[in-house]
Amino acid sequence: MILSSKALDIKPSSTLAITAKAKQMKADGIDVVGFGAGEPDFDTPDHIKEAAIKAMNEGFTKYTPASGILPLKEAICKKLQDDNNVSYKPNQIVVSNGAKHSLTNTFMAILNPSDEVIIPGPFWLSYVQMVKIADGVPVVVKASKENNYKVTIDELKKALTDKTKAILINSPSNPTGMIYTEEELRAIADFAVSNDLFVVADEIYEKLIYGDEKHVSIASFNEEIYKRTIIINGVSKTYAMTGWRIGYAAAPAEIAKIMGNVQSHASSNPNSLAQKAALAAISGSQECVDVMKTEFNKRRNYMYDRISKMSYISAIKPQGAFYLFVDLADVLGKTYNNEVIEDANVFAKLLLDNESVAVVPCTDFGYNTHFRLSYAIAMENIEKGLDRIERFLENLK
């Protein structure tokens, strides 16, 4: 039988694969340090769990409206107004099974076959596959380290064709932790408006910012860019709720409507109890976010300082999210136990096999000269893992 060539072209998520391998090694009794985590290590705060328990006990266990319950949509609208200075009505909000689902819905809603989506690299690996799922063509634009891994308008212009339909912006970024300044975003907004493009703004890490930088929503600048922007956000990263699967999109009403239509047939509503939990997260006290942020920040500072002192590798200090994007260009060509390190994949494999440290090689993020470390793991593991990486590097020839 011939299977779908489109589906066969979709790559599995390598971050999930590495995390799974590290977990398996751990289960086998090996003392692994896993830096692969793409999720907070904290437990979901109690008041959020209690909202779900209450909903369950009250029998809130049936289908809800396919695009989400009204109180949650209203809370999201209020949040967008208060935090991001953008006005939305509930009919512009679609609540889905995680921001991943919101992104896939978005591409399904805006793309026709062979439409191109500009994805600045380094990029979160799922974007490329999601665009393909929606019959679009991902066009990767690699940003340079010199510009803090952020794309410039000149680089975007070079990627522009008459097929370009949208540009994706992820700030703070996974994997770099970089944040686009307001000025940079305004230039991207002008570029999108003057070339008639949509902007898909993945703002999932907006609350995890550690320095003085401020998150700005690109949709907030003016009516023109507002009409072209689809904001993607969710509760996974901010509230340590990755398993609950609640994300959302905020979009012009026409787009939200067709996203809701697609979702109503593909999956119907996201889990009813998780919607109540997300409502508690978004509308409740935000103190829990500060507690987690303070801890992330300590780890970020420690990790950055340690990596900066190591031979052959370097990183730019991340401003947000919970990752360090590490440049290993100077490691390439060196050998470990007579094996040549050709790229980040070989590096990651040797590190896992010899030092039981799992890192994410960024080949699938568009950079085979870099790897990603997550600091969403306990400090003692960070210390242990960095000791091992240091030892590994000292053994290079």
Ligand X SMILES: *Cc1c(COP(=O)(O)O)cnc(C)c1O
* Contact set with ligand X (CB under 6 A): 38, 98-100, 124, 170, 174, 202, 204, 234, 236-237, 242, 247
For residue 234, the minimal CB distance to ligand X (Å) is 4
Task: Compare residues 234 and 320 and give the one whose CB is closer to ligand X.
Answer: 234
φ/ψ region of 149 (left if φ > 0, alpha if ψ in -120 to 50, else beta) reads left
Smallest separation, CB 365 to ligand X (Å)? 10
For residue 132, the tally of other CB atoms under 10 A from its CB is 18
The alpha carbon dihedral of 160, 104, 246, 43 has a sign of negative
Query: What are 299's two structure tokens?
Result: 């780890």
CB of 172 to ligand X, least distance (A): 9
3-state secondary structure of 289: helix
Strand, helix or coil at 111?
coil
b/e sequence 84-119, b meaning 16+ C-beta within 10 Å: bebebebebbbbbbbbbbbbbbbbbbbbeeebbbbb
106 vs 356 by CB, closer to ligand X: 106
Residues near 190 by beta carbon (within 8 Å), at least 6 away in sequence:
none
Least Cβ distance, residue 169 to ligand X (angstroms): 11
Closest to ligand X by CB, 213 or 383:
213
Annotate 240-306 with DSSP letters as a single string: T-TTT--EEEE--HHHHHHHHHHHHHHT-S--HHHHHHHHHHHHS--HHHHHHHHHHHHHHHHHHHH
H-helix or E-strand spanning residue 24: helix 14-27
Whichever of 176 and 356 has its CB closer to ligand X, that residue is 176
Among residues 64 and 126, whose Cβ is nearest to ligand X?
Answer: 126
Q: What is the radius of gyration, based on Cα positions, of the chain?
A: 21
Task: Give the shortest CB-104-to-ligand X separation in angstroms.
Answer: 10
In this structure, the strands spanning 314-315 and 323-327 are antiparallel
Smallest gap from residue 395 Cβ to ligand X (A): 32
- Give, in order, the Cα–Cα distances in Å from 306 to each of 128, 317, 324: 32, 11, 12
Q: How far is the CB of 67 from ligand X (least distance, A)?
A: 16
Angle 344-355/379-394 helices, nearest 10 degrees? 110
Shortest approach of ligand X to residue 248 CB, angstroms?
9
Paired with 95 in beta bridges are 248
Question: Is 292 or 331 the residue whose CB approaches ligand X more closely?
Answer: 292
Q: How far is the CB of 202 from ligand X (least distance, A)?
A: 5
| Cβ atoms of 99 and 233 closer than 8 Å | yes
Residue of this chain nearest to ligand X (CB atom): 98
* Cα–Cα dist 213/219, whole Å: 18
Cβ proximity to ligand X: between 242 and 345 the closer is 242
Closest CB to ligand X among residues 139, 201: 201
Nearer to ligand X, 127 or 347 (CB): 127
**Nearer Cβ to ligand X (350/358):** 358
Minimum distance from residue 123 beta carbon to ligand X (Å): 9
Measure the CA–CA gap between 259 and 349, rounded to whole angstroms.
40
